[in-house]
Amino acid sequence: MNLTPKIKQQAAQLRTQLQTAGYVYYVLDNPIMEDAVYDKLYRQLQDLEAEYPELITPDSPTQRIGDKPASQFNSVKHNIPLYSLENAFNSAELAKWETRWQRQLEKIPEKFTYVCELKIDGSAIALTYEDGILVRGTTRGDGVAGEEITQNIKTIRTIPLKLKLDNPPPRVEVRGEAFLPLDVFESINQSRNQSGEALFANPRNAAAGTLRQLDSKIVAERKLNFFAYTLHVVDREEEAVTSQWNSLEELQEMGFLVNPNRKLCNSLAEVEAYFNQWDEGRKTLPYMTDGVVVKLNDYQLQKLLGFTNKFPRWAIALKYPAEESPTVVKDIIVNVGRTGAITPMAVMQPVQLAGTTVQRATLHNSDRIAELDIRVGDTVIIRKAGEIIPEVVRVLPDLRPSGTIPYQMPTQCPECNSTLVRPEKEAVTRCINISCPAILRGSIIHWASRNALDIRGLGERIAILLIENNLVNSVADLYTLTIEQIASLERMGTRSAEKLVKAIAESKNQSFDRILYGLGIRYVGSTNAKILTQSFPTIEALSSASFESIEAVYGIGEEIAQSVFEWVRVENNKALIQSLQTVGLEFKAEEIDRENAGELIFADKSFVITGTLPTLKRDEAKKMIERWGGKVTSSISKKTDYLLLGENPGSKLAKAEKLGVKQMSEEELLEILKQ
């Protein structure tokens, strides 16, 4: 079907509806439509753009999540430098700052004001808009240059892809803070703890790490938020805002979320009152703040004062003191996560810290333990200012009792007694026995997840009940559960039990790659599982493969190969595979449904699809290629064998021609597969 004006109008209307709904939901916190309605409109726009790729615009809501992981981040120079702020830690230092900036002026103005804003404990980012459209997002870096992370920035719902201006300036530069709300941060750490990953120490580190994820889908899942606080309008001097207060108001009009807890102050006394007010009030906020940013409001004064080689003279950060407390280490224990990660924890005499009673603090890994030289009986300083997870800051060796001995990480798993492994170049020690009781709950949840066996109704609550009632000791035991056993569990009736048993039985039909992914082998994601099962179509072939042959598979690196090679040689893992085969799961890739197929036509061939194909949807073409041994990637490189070419191909065609990549039409593809 040809692209008609009516279809264009429909797409534009859908974009406007979704942009408006997103703005009032994420920025104004005032939903105007049900989630189901939003999802339906989003799917309509998504379908239109899939059928007519030329309808896709940079500000389309569908472009918030990137379609492919970035291979790396490029360093780019900021259009306007991002200066750090000088710090003050008390009212005397704040007064010295005021005296200092006033000395820089020939004449002190009779009246001036300060703008006070909460200093958000996150990660500074710079945004560039051209003609109202977001074209670039970067990290702060060293202030002069940062990493270009536009694809990740687009996942943050409180950052508009298009400014809410009828006549936007040619270029707008916005600065602000990306941060993780506390409830989101806690949820992420709970998930990481269950999966055996190292916990984030604080929301700031988590936000910074999230922004540098190569896969923007992971960034989207972590639900970063953003407060805008600086506005630079380029080439619009006659209409430029004249003060920081007005710029915050204009940022709101443009569609940004601006922190509402700001204040215009007429004196340092008012600044200090604001600072003292939020010293207690910040404990109730849904995000972390570690101080107050104080700025001279008048832009003309800012311009006159300028910058030192490090800081703006017209702004300062008044910081809250870090809350630290001494306590005594009573014990050092270790926790075992889903992936077998062994995380040491200090168990301490209870102490009040930042309004909560703290008894445990993470020690991260054996390297951190060695660095601290922490021992049972030591007096330590722990901190929780700007920190959600209490951590040991330092040990006080002068108070160490005699006879203490350095702590040694265990060599055997405390849960299953398997030998622990610390992979080369890693700080984390791990148990690699998948039948380890501590790993079991997370393994069941992972096994039942959507990208693995997709067992509907089997979530964390049911997994815990099954384990607590000794009904399962491995994922294989799921397949011997009866309706009566499940119905006997707390808050589980016969009807729910019937549905779950049916879902478990249906999961036996899942493909080999999903089963391999479901086993939870470290580093083996759903894509890698598919690649592995194409090269090793049976579990026997994979189990007997050498490390070198696994590593040689295109797309499988050294880490993945080593992990798989070790996993299939653990006796308990071998027994698990045997049990799963006994209950009816097929550890065998689907055979090609074709007489005398011989070898796979596209074995070891790499494809990139571009443009709109005449009859096939991209997913259909991808499945055909993969069925015949090929791989479909998102970007052109020297390793690409074929470019599957449709209408309106875009920049990939030019790059393919430059690299000499062969081109193939849909007609040619279908003709090859008929032979």
User: Which pLDDT tens digit goes with each residue over 482-537?
Assistant: 999 999 998 888 999 999 999 999 999 999 989 999 998 877 877 678 878 878 99
Q: pLDDT by residue (tens digit) across 176-203?
A: 999 999 888 888 888 777 666 667 767 8
Average pLDDT over every residue of 280-307:
91
pLDDT surpassing 90 at residue 427: no
Average pLDDT over every residue of 76-82:
85
| pLDDT score, position 243 | 93
| pLDDT score, position 389 | 67
| pLDDT score, position 94 | 95
Average pLDDT over every residue of 552-556:
71
330 is in an annotated binding site: no
436 is in an annotated binding site: yes
Q: pLDDT by residue (tens digit) across 229-241?
A: 999 987 654 456 7
Predicted confidence band of residue 629 (pLDDT cuts 50, 70, 90): confident
| pLDDT score, position 326 | 86
pLDDT surpassing 50 at residue 362: yes
71 Cβ contact list (under 8 Å, min separation 6): 214, 635
117 is in an annotated binding site: yes
pLDDT surpassing 70 at residue 211: yes
Q: Which residue has the higher pLDDT, 6 or 72?
A: 6
Average pLDDT over every residue of 153-170:
91
pLDDT surpassing 90 at residue 307: no
Mean pLDDT score across all residues of the chain: 85
| pLDDT score, position 598 | 45
15 Cβ contact list (under 8 Å, min separation 6): 45, 57, 59, 60, 61
The tokens 């202030």 sit on which residue? 143
Number of Cβ within 10 Å of residue 176's Cβ equals: 26
Number of Cβ within 10 Å of residue 1's Cβ equals: 6
By the 8 A CB rule, do 325 and 319 touch? no
Q: pLDDT by residue (tens digit) across 240-255?
A: 678 999 999 999 999 9
| pLDDT score, position 115 | 97
Closest listed residue to residue 263, CA positions, set 120, 117, 119: 117
Please identify every residue annotated as catalytic. Answer: 119
Percent of the chain whose pLDDT exceeds 90: 39
| pLDDT score, position 385 | 47
413 is in an annotated binding site: yes
pLDDT surpassing 50 at residue 593: no
User: What does the angle CA 647 – CA 650 – CA 653 come to, to the nearest 5 degrees?
Assistant: 90
By the 8 A CB rule, do 232 and 165 touch? no
| pLDDT score, position 595 | 44
416 is in an annotated binding site: yes
The tokens 């290629």 sit on which residue? 625
Average pLDDT over every residue of 557-570:
88
Q: pLDDT by residue (tens digit) across 7-38?
A: 888 888 888 888 787 776 556 646 676 655 66
| pLDDT score, position 212 | 83
Predicted confidence band of residue 354 (pLDDT cuts 50, 70, 90): low
450 is in an annotated binding site: no
Average pLDDT over every residue of 297-324:
86
Q: What is the C-alpha radius of gyration for the chain, rounded to an integer number of angstroms? A: 29
558 is in an annotated binding site: no
619 is in an annotated binding site: no
Average pLDDT over every residue of 73-80:
83
| pLDDT score, position 434 | 65
52 is in an annotated binding site: no
Q: Which residue has the higher pLDDT, 300 or 193?
A: 300
3-state helix, strand, coil in the chain (%, to 5): 40, 20, 40
| pLDDT score, position 547 | 92
The amino acid sitting at 483 is I
Lowest pLDDT segment from 142-156, 244-258, 532-546, 625-639: 625-639
Q: What torsion, rounded to 10 degrees, do the Cα atoms 570, 571, 572, 577 define?
A: 90
pTM of the model: 0.51
The tokens 């922190």 sit on which residue? 259
pLDDT surpassing 90 at residue 437: no
Predicted confidence band of residue 106 (pLDDT cuts 50, 70, 90): confident
Enter the tokens of residue 42: 């989003």
Average pLDDT over every residue of 221-226:
91
Phi, psi of 6 (to 5 degrees): -65, -40
Average pLDDT over every residue of 169-182:
93
116 is in an annotated binding site: no
Q: Which residue has the higher pLDDT, 85 or 308?
A: 85
